[in-house]
Amino acid sequence: MIFDVLILGGGPGGLTAGIYAGRAQLKTGMIERLMPGGQVAGTELIENYPGFADGVAGPDLMMAMEKQARKFGLEIMTGTIESLDFKSAPKKVVASGKTYYAKAVIISTGTDPKLLNIPGEKEFKGRGVSYCATCDGPFFKDKDVVVVGGGSSGVQESLYLTRFVNKINLVEFMDHLNAERILQERAKKNQKYTFYLNHQMLSINGSQKVESVTVKNRATEEAFDIPAEGVFIWVGMNPNTEFLQNHIDINPWGYIVAGEDCQTSVPGVFAVGDVRDKEVRQITTAVSDGTVAAEHALKYVESQEN
């Protein structure tokens, strides 16, 4: 399977790259480990994507992008990256036992939620511990839950949980919330919230399912339990770049080093979206990256042909 452009990962940046590369009449393929959409596909409501005055559901936006990309010829394959060779010509990617070749590669593998790595987290994953409000919120109807993380993701997703749950105990390590001001105001006005700022999660407790969490007040060092039947965790993201070690330059935090042209340290290999080392990570910036990378990939392919 030989492509002009091969995209690794199907988030908004990758799908946008697929749209632009396809419209440029490049033979374009995409390898996605699950289904296109990335983290956006698990977001209940997006209010800051241009063109949607009343907001848009994440899954709806991603399905529309996928449909548009397929319209312009994007071929989507399911697989997990096993090995790479960016030095060969064409470049070589092996995924789930299948070998693909491409003149240019665009990496759009995104990020995954960070773990707390505390007792009970792994044991109760899927049995009370969740990282996706849209996926699991309805299972906690009329129950008390703990939300860990006071950033924009944590507060945004916890606001969605208020549709179902009885009470939200929001635990934040810092002594203040870091979410966008509009989200903070909505949460503080909602009577379902109790805020535990400047508190540290110590453990998630229970027998067959989650029954409580143990937290510590960082100012007084006092540890105590909060009864809860569910724990939703949003404490940051880890870039999906382990498979790229020793292939391209990656910064100490695991993000791909790439310029504003999205070019990595290897000619013909580009990085887009949240996996790229940059200050702002939003759907709009991922879409912008996808556009830029596709345009530069086109120039690279043409230069190789010439």
pLDDT band at 280 (very low <50, low <70, confident <90, very high): confident
DSSP string, 218-267: TTT--EEEEE-SEEEE-S-EEES-GGGTTTS-B-TTSPBP--TT-B-SST
Domain co-membership, 188 together with 206: yes
Domain co-membership, 101 together with 19: yes
Nearest to 168 by CA among 176, 157, 178: 157
Domain co-membership, 287 together with 188: no
For 10-42, the pLDDT digits (tens) are 999 999 999 999 999 999 999 999 888 888 887
Among all residues, which ones are annotated catalytic?
A: 132, 135-136
Rounded to the nearest 10°, the torsion over CA 281, 284, 287, 288 is -90
What 3-state class would DSSP assign to 142? coil
Mean pLDDT value across residues 248-255: 95
Domain co-membership, 248 together with 224: no
Residues 49 and 284 sit within 8 Å (Cβ to Cβ): yes
Specify the pLDDT at position 145.
98
Q: What is the largest CA-CA distance in the chain?
A: 69
φ, ψ of residue 274 to 5 degrees: the values are -65, -20
φ, ψ of residue 292 to 5 degrees: the values are -65, -45
pLDDT band at 9 (very low <50, low <70, confident <90, very high): very high
For 84-94, the pLDDT digits (tens) are 999 999 999 99
Q: Taking the chain, what is the end-to-end CA distance rounded to the nearest angstrom?
A: 22
Specify the pLDDT at position 224.
98
CB neighbour list of residue 208: distance below 8 Å, 6 or more residues apart: 127
Which of 213, 233, 253 is the endpoint of a domain? Answer: 233
Domain co-membership, 119 together with 223: yes
Q: How far is CA 207 from CA 70, 124, 130, 165, 194, in A?
A: 47, 9, 17, 21, 25
Cα 50 to Cα 66: distance, rounded to the nearest angstrom: 18
Domain co-membership, 270 together with 189: no
Domain co-membership, 122 together with 228: yes
Specify the pLDDT at position 236.
87
Specify the pLDDT at position 43.
78
Domain co-membership, 244 together with 108: yes
Task: Please state the separation of Cα 293 from the chain's center in Å.
Answer: 19
Specify the pLDDT at position 96.
96
Domain that holds residue 153: 115-233
- Write the CATH number for 212: 3.50.50.60
Instruction: Count other C-beta atoms under 10 Å from residue 130's C-beta.
Output: 24
Q: What is the mean pLDDT of the chain?
A: 94
Q: How far is CA 154 from CA 158, 161, 193, in A?
A: 6, 10, 13
CB neighbour list of residue 210: distance below 8 Å, 6 or more residues apart: 120, 124, 127, 128, 129, 204, 228, 229, 230, 231
Backbone conformation region of residue 199, classed left if phi is above 0, alpha if psi is from -120 to 50, else beta: beta
To which residue do tokens 């535990």 refer? 196
Specify the pLDDT at position 49.
92
**Number of structural domains, the chain?**
2
Domain co-membership, 108 together with 119: no
Specify the pLDDT at position 299.
97
Tokens standing for residue 101? 């070749």
What 3-state class would DSSP assign to 186? helix
pLDDT band at 290 (very low <50, low <70, confident <90, very high): very high
Instruction: Count other C-beta atoms under 10 Å from residue 31's C-beta.
Output: 24
In terms of Cβ atoms closer than 10 Å to its own Cβ (0-12, 13-18, 19+), residue 220 is exposed
Nearest to 231 by CA among 207, 196, 203: 203
Domain co-membership, 45 together with 140: no
pLDDT at residue 135 tops 80: no
pLDDT at residue 239 tops 80: yes
Domain co-membership, 95 together with 138: no
Q: Percent of the chain having pLDDT more than 90?
A: 85
Which of 233, 251, 283 is the endpoint of a domain? Answer: 233
Which of 233, 251, 267 is the endpoint of a domain? Answer: 233
Domain co-membership, 83 together with 132: no
